Structure 1
Amino acid sequence: MKLLVFLATTTLLAGGAQAAEVIFAHGANPGNPRFIAAEKWAEEYTACRGGADTVNVAPSATMGNDVEMLTSATAGVIQLSANSQGPMAQIVPEFGLLGLPFLFADLPAAWKMLDGEIGAMLDERAQKVGLKVVGFWDNGIRNITHVSKIISEPADIKGMKIRTPPDQMTVDIFEALGAAPAPLAWSELPSALQAGVFDGQENPLTNIYSAKLHKITPFVTMSGHKYETTPIVAGLGWWESIDKETQDCVIKATKEAGKLQRQLSYEGDQTLRPKMEEEGATFADVDKKAFQEATASVYDKYAEKFPEFVKALKAAAGQ
């Protein structure tokens, strides 16, 4: 935290002219909605700027993992990142609250909330640590995959070695379910699963399919246990160094590419199940009430730490 604030301060002091090249970094591989939308972002931004800037899209964690990309954005090494909820929560804890178990009924409900007051509150907090949130893309409602069995009820998770993103909320959810969760960077997940380090993992169907995780962990339980966003963040130093017209182009490109990204994520939830079944995956639905009851303690923990924000989230989600 102190390092990020220090880097943000030095970047702001350095100022500097608007960069001719804009680096937009992310961790997704080809076929993932985040990857496709980043390419769309480059097209939209370049067109809006009339060719005044060029965009270098750096995918597949070529600029480091999500945490490293956030540090690079704050330091001015890159300009923007399509990042992840867990890493953002490490420096802005309120981001993690978006993943409270079973908070949202569906994706549109989450998007509506993020495009409103809750999103503005998160941006305000991010700016205090040197980051500007320019929009929210999607990272889906998440489900569990296992190497050898379906998770029919909470008891089936007891002792399960499950990979989570570097996100304390996800760890708390699975600890409440009796699992043995361990965080690991997304880029390292396929090899870790193949090596037998984990019994399984959790992700939205779009991520599972694009990374071919259903080939390694073919038992898919539609738990829908939490939601995650993909925050699009800029280094605050760079953001404040560009003029209003350029800022408007950033916002416009993020919004237009976000429409595509959200659409692909939503369509994936609707269409990927039969495709994955054809490729050998076994699916099962669950009685979510039992899982909600088993994870109720997670709400208690975070309501004690962030009472007003949890209250605002629950109200925005219609709970």
Structure 2
Amino acid sequence: MKAGALALALVGLSAQAASDMPPMPEITGGKVAGNGQDYTIRVSIGTTKGGAQYRGAEYFEKIVESRSDGHVQVQLFDSAQLGDDLQAVSSLQSGTLEMTLPSTSPLVKMFPEFAVFDLPFLFPTTDVVDQVFDGDIGDQLLKVASSKGLVAIGWSENGYRQLTNSKHPVSSPADLEGLKIRTMQNPIHLDIWRTLGANPTPMSFAELFTALEQGVVDGQENPWITIQSSKFNEVQPYATETNHVYTPFITLVSKRYWDRLPEGYQQLLVDAAQDMSRYERQVSRTLNDQIKQELKDDGMQITELTPGQVAVFQKKLAPVYDHWRDQIGGQLIDDIRELSQ
């Protein structure tokens, strides 16, 4: 193929990929009156521009700027330019940053209830996820996080974590025996993989690809989009769609900044965060399905667990629930489980 034709083909592929992402919904709601002052919101996110989180943040930006008639400007900073999740949250508390959308996992020391999102197989379907975040449980957890210099105004989706490894297909806990699985430095995640018979190995994400390539660890677990974007499939031929842990993002605003906003703009941010939440989850799930298929097409062998196989994992992991129930809050766990019935 000639260079010019190749360039046109690549442009066409890019356009097709972009069109596969759900379009942003129309902005609803009228203009919101302020107090005559202009405001700027710097938003820090940890993921890249190609992901669902950034796309959702772009929709938030459009809503806020449109409905404030330009009096509230939103500036997006992707790829942890302003610091990782904990650093960004600390900046909110000190008033040097206005907004961030961290994963809940790094916030467990601040809000122990958030450890509920690290429990295995607690969110069996996205329907249960939506019932939690769009209902009373999600509202209660936002109230928990609206403290310590923070105002929590909404949820969005990081997604389900999946297992990959370099040794063999995994369809039962017995297949994990002795495998070295990289985990985050998270006590529940360590407990999960140890209980399943694997050898959990905490390691920074920055070191992970090289560790997989050199065989320092045999496997890892992350959402499909991270597996693809980090090229783990190049050194991990086997994957299992475990959906073992579901992780959300939470939308946080600096309390110091919040208190300076007129009431109308405060409500605008809440409304925009809710609209962003619904759209971002749609984008996340669309990308998830597309990327899983792309990984298959690229040669990755993906095992899809049957309900019976999932039940075997759940039974094996019952001690994890027993261990963490009192620390997280048994009623919270029971309330979420009830939605699965």
TM-score (norm 2): 0.81
Asked if 1:296 is matched to 2:315, the reply is no
Asked if 1:312 is matched to 2:312, the reply is no
Matches within 5 A, 1:1-319: 20-184=39-203, 186=205, 189-190=208-209, 192-194=211-213, 196-286=215-305, 287-305=309-327, 306-315=329-338, 317-319=339-341
Give the Cα–Cα distance (whole angstroms) in 2 for the partners of residues 159 and 243 of structure 1: 57
Q: CA deviation at 1:138?
A: 0.9
Aligned to 1:13: none
Q: Deviations over 1:4-42 (max 9, x none)?
A: xxxxxxxxxxxxxx8732110011013211122222222
Change (3 A) 1:124 1:285: same
Q: CA deviation at 1:86?
A: 0.5
Change (3 A) 1:242 1:34: same
Percent identity, please: 28
Query: 5+ unaligned residues in a row in structure 1: which ranges?
Result: 1-17
One-letter code aligned to 2:283: L
Which one has the largest radius of gyration?
A: 2
Range 304-313 or range 272-281, more displaced: 304-313
Give the Cα–Cα distance (whole angstroms) in 2 for the partners of residues 241 and 191 of structure 1: 46
Contact 1:137 1:262 in 2 (8 A): yes
Q: CA deviation at 1:194?
A: 4.3
Query: 5+ unaligned residues in a row in structure 2: which ranges?
Result: 1-36
Give the Cα–Cα distance (whole angstroms) in 2 for the partners of residues 183 and 255 of structure 1: 34
Contact 2:105 2:118 in 1 (8 A): no
One-letter code aligned to 1:91: M
Contact 1:143 1:205 in 2 (8 A): yes
Contact 2:185 2:202 in 1 (8 A): yes
Give the Cα–Cα distance (whole angstroms) in 2 for the partners of residues 101 and 68 of structure 1: 27
